[in-house]
Chains A and B, each alone.
Chain A
Amino acid sequence: DGGITQSPKYLFRKEGQNVTLSCEQNLNHDAMYWYRQDPGQGLRLIYYSQIVNDFQKGDIAEGYSVSREKKESFPLTVTSAQKNPTAFYLCASSIGVDTQYFGPGTRLTVL
């Protein structure tokens, strides 16, 4: 069953802690993306990767970091430098240009 998985579904973090969100895909897609979604807003791009071992900053990369050591995996770390990390985080992948396919999302809450 092909698709994109994100884990965990819900995540709670204390202030000052780093936390890593998982994103895995078995679609054999080259490109992967991380978005942040806040209430009443569209999706904002955090980081994206077009190929293994390469990634680019999106529009709101400050306070986040990523790695792309494997084609299937694109984990996102939310660092303590991120001032307002509570949000819904969505991972996506695409085979090239255009259509992106999304995972189910991780809701991060900072306590």
Chain B
Amino acid sequence: AQSVTQLDSHVSVSEGTPVLLRCNYSSSYSPSLFWYVQHPNKGLQLLLKYTSAATLVKGINGFEAEFKKSETSFHLTKPSAHMSDAAEYFCVVSDLSNTDKLIFGTGTRLQVFP
């Protein structure tokens, strides 16, 4: 069965410094992987998705993620944090036993300090 683990529940960075949000997945096959962002009391917005076309995936707002099969990881990065990046981030994997279903991580809350 597929699963996804977000290794940090909270991450704090200073504005202008790099962001790293870590995600490991468990899957017998090459899954589809996603990162979503949620601002307070809002719905989720898709940042990027991996579907086996390229291991380095570029998303919106300067975020990118690299699929590493050998490490079963899909970490999210950004070179320089902005105050507006403060939000909750979810790593998500598609459920290969039922491709209409997604499996969500528990989320990482990113704080950005001035």
Contact = CB atoms under 8 A, between A and B. Distances in A.
A101 B104 contact: no
B102 interface: yes
B106 A94 contact: no
B67 interface: no
- Interface of B, helix, strand, loop or mixed by DSSP: loop
Contacts of A48: 100-101
B42 A104 contact: yes
B32 interface: yes
A103 B43 contact: yes
Contacts of A94: 100
B64 to A, nearest CB: 17
Given A40-B9, A42-B107, A43-B90, A100 B45 contact: no
A41 B106 contact: yes
Interface residues of A, number: 26
A4 B42 CA distance: 12
Interface residues of B, number: 22
B7 to A, nearest CB: 14
B94 interface: yes
A90 B99 contact: no
Contacts of B51: 98
Which of B34, B41, B99 is packed against the most chain A CB atoms within 10 Å? B41
6 contacts: A42-B106, A88-B41, A98-B99, A102-B43, A104-B43, A105-B42
Q: Which 8 A-B pairs have the closest CB atoms?
A: A42-B104, A102-B43, A97-B99, A102-B44, A43-B104, A104-B43, A42-B106, A103-B43
Interface of A: 4, 6, 31, 40-45, 48, 50, 58, 88, 90, 92, 94, 97-105, 107
Given A40-B106, A48-B101, A104-B43, 4 more contacts: A40-B9, A102-B43, A105-B41, A105-B42
